[in-house]
Structure 1
């Protein structure tokens, strides 16, 4: 039996946003999770085939002018139609690194994900305001929860 595939598509343009990606990866690769393979791809490098191979996806973006990063928007622009029919029901979650409140970013991503008919497995997490070290623990929990859900067959 092959391992389930967890794909992380996250924009990480700064050292702190890279720390978030690393924390999500660490959580997803927890020792208790045995049947899940996890990989991270920056949005500009992600292709429709990467999504077609995925059993679940974690999206990560910065808040840019009250919207998702241009890189994540590019990802959706390129991948939306090639995966639309085949990946309906794909378990997904989202985290946002927001200097402000992240609500515009959240709304924009949720609108696209609704169109794709992917299934939210948890509420989006918004890391608001000044950088806080607690963001790392929360990001790790996101990765671990998603991988554990795949590993146990919950989704």
Structure 2
């Protein structure tokens, strides 16, 4: 079941934790792709992971999640967002599309696996391959982030 958004416009929620210049650059590229002028009719909302609420999640039609990989796991901030929203969203958000971008210096596999485990439990559908970046994001990495944002937004616009 899709939520009824204000004006009937699909809503894309970007939940992010951006503690470093690298994750900030990735976030900005994702946001730019999601807001591409060629993608019409999608409202893009962004929320820091520590402030996202169940209402934010329930009112969205799709999601992009952004996190650093900390010691092989998603950030505590993104984990907090899932802890707060998991049960209120469990039966109401199944089938919604999502994308993931993450940054790490090593051990990103555990972070990716942890996010995918939770989104699988929620019944969300992966819209695109995750964008995983090590060290400073290259131009190619940022283009992949842009494409991730545009892909999830375009899917909602259809």
TM bin (shorter chain): over 0.9
Shift of 1:130: 4.0
- Number of aligned residues: 152
User: CA offsets, 1:17-53, max 9 Å, x none?
Assistant: 1111111111111111111010111100100000101
SS where residue 44 of structure 1 aligns? coil
Deviates more, 1:9-18 or 1:131-140: 131-140
**Per the alignment, in what secondary structure is the counterpart of residue 27 of structure 2?**
helix
Equivalent in 20, 23, 33 of residue 17 of structure 1: 23
Aligned to 1:38: 44
CA RMSD of aligned residues (A): 1.2
Report the alpha carbon displacement of residue 135 of structure 1 after superposing the two structures with TM. Answer: 2.1
Distance 1:26 1:123 in 2: 18
Partner of 1:77: 83
Match of 1:99 among 105, 120, 133: 105
- Unaligned 5+ runs, structure 1: none
Structure 2 residue runs of 5 or longer lacking an equivalent are 1-6
